[in-house]
Chain A
C-alpha cells in the first residue's frame, strides 16, 4: 500500500496528489492519500476524485510513503509526516524538482527530521530534457501504451482546449461550431468554468464542453483521439497531465499555442495553426487521415520515454501490488434515481424482469425502493439519500460514487433511470469505462430542456427514451445518435371480476368493515406538492358514505398529515400493489406521474387526475390534459376543490366512471416498451 503525501497542504499540491494517485491506481498500485492534505477549499470535482483515495490518519497502514512536491516541504506537512505511525519496514520516497544538491539535502533533512527515517529521493529535474511544465508538483509521467489507443473508423474524436478569453471572440465560437458539424468529427471543447458558461449562454450552447477541472485527465483522455491546445502556453498542471496521458496513450496532440509551449520542450506533438478559424481544414487535411500513424510515432518518441511511469516505478522501487480481480460474470446494475415515488425503480424493475434470467441483474437502490425490489427478487446494494443533516451537500453522492465504483468494473453495464445524472453515475461510467444506458423518460418542462441537463448523455453508450402514450407528449430533446425510443414501460396486471371481488373481501376483513364502496387516493408524497386539502376533502366526503373504505396510498418518505389519521373510513396505507387496488376500486384519485398514469391508462382504470406541479417534476398537467381531452380521465386542477367534489359525486353516483371505462377500452394505445428496452440493454447496443 502506497500512502501519498505532499510537500504542502494546498490546493495545488492536493490536485497534484489526486492526479498522481489516479495514475498510479490505473497502473495497478494500491494507493491512498492522507486526508489531512485536503485543503479546506476543495472544489466539487476534486471531492469526487479524492473519495476513492482519502484515508484518515488512524486507518493508515502503508508500507511505502511517497512524498510529492518535496522540493518545498512546509511545517504543516512535517507535522503530518511526523504523526504517521509507520511500521518498522515502511520506507519513504520523496519526489521533487530539486534545483541542486542542497535542495535535495533540505528535502531529505526535513522528511528525516519529521519521520525519524531517511527518505530515498527522486529528482524530477534529473538529467531529462525539459519537462512539459517546469516546476510542476505533479510528477508528469505517463504509462506508455504498446499501440495507439484510438477509436477505429472514420469518426475522429477531437478535444480542443480554448482559453476563456479566446472564446469571447465570436469568430472562435463560430469556427468551433462549424467544426462540430463535420460528420467525421466528434468535437468536444475544453475550457474553464467561465468559458463553459460563456458557451452555454451563446448561440452555440449545444457544443459539447468540458470544464477544466470537471473530470480527471485520465477520464477525459478516453473521450478523444486528438487533442489540440490553443492559447499562449501550456495551461497549467492539469492540462500538462492530460497531455502526458494523451501522448502515453498514443493520441495526437496538436500544439496551437502562440508560444509553441508544448513543441519547444521536444514533446512528440505536432504544430498546428494558431488561428482557430483554419483549424477544421487543418484537421481534415493533416491530422484525421494520419492520426493512427502519428499516434504510433508518438509512442516511439525518445522524449516521451524519459517520462515513462515504469522508469519512475523502477527508481522508486515500487511495484504494482493490486490483486488481480477475481473473475466473475459481468453484471447489469440498475440504478434508479430517488424520485418522489417509486416510478424510476418500478420502471427499472419492469425492464429487468423482461430480461433473460441468465443475465446477472442487480440494483443499486435508495432505501425507499429496496423493499419493493427485494420482494421482486432483486439483490440490492443500498445507496444513500441526500439529507439536510449531512454537513457536505455532496456527502451522500460522494459515498454513492464510492459504492458504485466498488460495485462495477469494466465489462459490467450500468443502467441509470432518472432525469439528472448524478456525478456519482457520470464519473463511475467514465472511470470504469463502462457501457452505460440512460433511461430518460420525457415530458420535461420547458425550463428543464437545456444543454447542461443533457450534456452528460455523452457518457452513455445508449439513451433509452420510454415514450408517452399520446404522441403530442413526445419530443426529441437531443440529436444524439445513440437515443432509442421504446413504447411506454408500464406494469400490467390482469384482474378478473373474481380477483376484484376477492381483493375487496380481503380488504373488508383487513379493515373490519363492509366494503360497498372502495376509493383509492394516491396524490404523491406531499413533498413535491402539498395535497393535504384535497385528501382531507376526500376523507370528508367518504366519511359520510356508509360502508365506504378509502385507502390513501403513501409513498415511501411521504409526509403524512396527522389529520388523516382521525377518519373512520379513511386509512393511510403503504403498498406496492397500487395498481391492483385501483383496479378493484370504484374510484381512483391519482397524481399524474409517468408510472401511475400509464398503469391506470393501460389497465383501463377510470380516474380523477390531480397533477403535481413542482418545477423539478415532469409536466403532469400536460399528461393529464391529454387524457382528459380524449375523454379518458377527469382532470381536476389543484385549486379546484368544488370540481373535485362534483367529480367524486359523478363517479360514485353517476355513470362517469362507466363512460370513462368504456372510452379507455376503445382507445388504441401504443405497444409497451418493456421488452424492447430489455432487449436493447441485454444486447448492449451502442457500445
Chain B
C-alpha cells in the first residue's frame, strides 16, 4: 500500500499578516496529500503574541495539533517557513531529522541596493546546526525573492550546503473573484500594514495619489494620520479601519509602491486587488511575480496608465479579467501540482 508521506512544518505561528495567511492556505492544501505535523517554535521575535488567527482557524478545521518547541522534529520532509523569525535567536533548541529540509524564504534576503535584510547567516546556521538531513534547500517564493536568495548565496559561498529549489514556493492566492466595473473612474487606493517599509517617500506618494485624482483612499495609513502636512485630498484609514470589501468598493486602481529601500517578497495584496476586480500597478520587480496580472511601472507613469484606462473602459475590463485568469497559476490546485512533483521521490511503497 502507498503510505502518505509525513510532512513536518516548522514555524513561529505568531507571525501576523500575509505570511500566516499563505501558510494557512498551504496547510489546507498539503494536508490533502500528506500527513502533516505542525511544530511551533517560540522565537524571540514575537514574545507574548497570540497565534495568528488565520493559522489557528485552519489548524482547528484540519484537526492538526500545534506542537510547541519539540525536542525533535522529523518527517520525510521538514518545511521551515520564514527563517528570518530566528534572527534574534542565539540557539534553536530542537533537532530536525528528515530526508529533505526546505526553508521557505518568505522574506527577501537582501534589500534593494544589496544590504542584508536580516542576519541571514545566523538564521541559516542555526537551522543547519540543528538538522540532520540529506538535502537542505531554500525555497524562494517569487522571482524577486529568488534573486535575493541567489545573490546572497553567491556572496556567501561558505553556505554552499544550501541549494535553491528550482520552483517558486509561491503564496496560494485563493481570493474570491469580483468582476471589474464597466465604468472606471480615477479612484485610486492602496492597502497594506502601516509599517514604514510599506510606504514610499512622500514625493512618490504624491505621484501615485495626486490631487487630480477623483479619490485617493489609503488603508493602513496609521503613520499619516495626525500628521500636519498630509494632503487633505487623501482619505486615510488606519490598518483595519474599514473592511477590505468596503475599501475595494472605493477604488478602481490599486497603486502600490513601497519604500525604495524595501520590496515585497511576494505581494499578496496585489493579487487580492486583482481578484477584487481592480487594475493593480506596482514597481516592475514586484509586478514580475504575477506574470502580467499586475502592471509594472514607475511612479511617474501611474497617472498616464490610469488615464489610458479611463479613456478605454473596455480595455480596463479586459485587462482585469486577463489578470484574474493569470492568478490561477497561484491557486491551490497549482500549488498542489507543484508540491506533488516535489514530493514524488519521497513517496514510499510499503508491503
Contact = CB atoms under 8 A, between A and B. Distances in A.
Nearest to A116: B201
Contact of B111 (A79, A82, A100, A112): A112
Contact of B261 (A75, A100, A117): A117
Contacts of A101: 119, 122
A516 interface: no
Given A79-B223, A83-B227, A113 B197 contact: yes
B339 interface: no
Nearest to A82: B196
Contact of A102 (B115, B122, B195): B122
A353 interface: no
Interface string A109-129: 110111111100000000000
A93 interface: no
A102 B88 CA distance: 7
A105 B197 contact: no
A102 to B, nearest CB: 4
A589 B40 CA distance: 93
A513 B201 CA distance: 77
Given A83-B227, A109-B111, A114 B117 contact: no
Contact of B196 (A102, A105, A114, A118): A114
B66 interface: no
A100 B223 CA distance: 29
Interface in B156-198: 195-197
Interface in B193-229: 195-197, 200-202, 223, 227, 229
A82 B201 CA distance: 7
Interface in A117-143: 117-118
Contacts of B47: none
B261 A116 contact: yes
B259 interface: yes
Given A105-B117, A118-B113, A118-B261, A113 B122 contact: no
Nearest to B262: A113
A509 B118 CA distance: 90
B118 A116 contact: no
Interface in B27-57: none
Contacts of A117: 260-261
A504 interface: no
Nearest to B87: A102
A108 interface: yes
B116 interface: yes
| Among B87, B117, B196, B197: residue with most chain A CB under 10 A | B196
B116 A105 contact: yes
A116 to B, nearest CB: 4
A112 B115 contact: yes
Main secondary structure of the interface of A (DSSP, over half): helix
* Chain A contact patch, size range: 10 to 19
A453 B88 CA distance: 55
Interface in B43-98: 87-88
B197 A109 contact: yes
A78 interface: yes
B298 to A, nearest CB: 15
Interface string B102-125: 000000000101011111001000
A112 B262 contact: yes
Given A83-B227, A102-B88, A113-B259, A108 B122 contact: no
B115 A118 contact: yes
Nearest to B196: A113
Nearest to A104: B119
Contact of B227 (A75, A79, A105, A118): A79
Given A113-B197, A114-B196, A116-B201, A102 B119 contact: yes
A78 B117 contact: no
B45 to A, nearest CB: 10
Given A82-B223, A114-B196, A109 B113 contact: no
A115 B260 CA distance: 9
Given A78-B196, A102-B88, A112 B259 contact: yes
A83 B202 CA distance: 8
Contacts of A79: 223, 227
Contact of A108 (B115, B200, B201): B115
Nearest to A114: B196
A269 to B, nearest CB: 35
Contacts of A100: 119
Contacts of B201: 82, 115-116
A393 B184 CA distance: 58
B196 A83 contact: no
A83 B259 contact: no
Contacts of B260: 116-117
A116 B119 contact: no
A109 B262 CA distance: 8
Contacts of B118: 102, 105
Interface string A287-325: 000000000000000000000000000000000000000
A20 B351 CA distance: 76
A75 B119 CA distance: 22
A114 to B, nearest CB: 5
A114 B261 CA distance: 9
A8 to B, nearest CB: 15
16 contacts: A82-B202, A83-B227, A101-B119, A102-B87, A105-B115, A105-B118, A105-B119, A108-B115, A110-B196, A112-B259, A113-B195, A113-B197, A113-B262, A116-B259, A117-B261, A118-B261
Which 5 A-B pairs rank lowest in CB-CB distance, beginning with the nearest?
A112-B261, A113-B196, A113-B197, A102-B119, A116-B201
Interface of A: 75, 78-79, 82-83, 100-102, 105, 108-110, 112-118
Given A82-B201, A105-B117, A112-B259, 5 more contacts: A79-B223, A113-B261, A114-B259, A115-B201, A117-B261
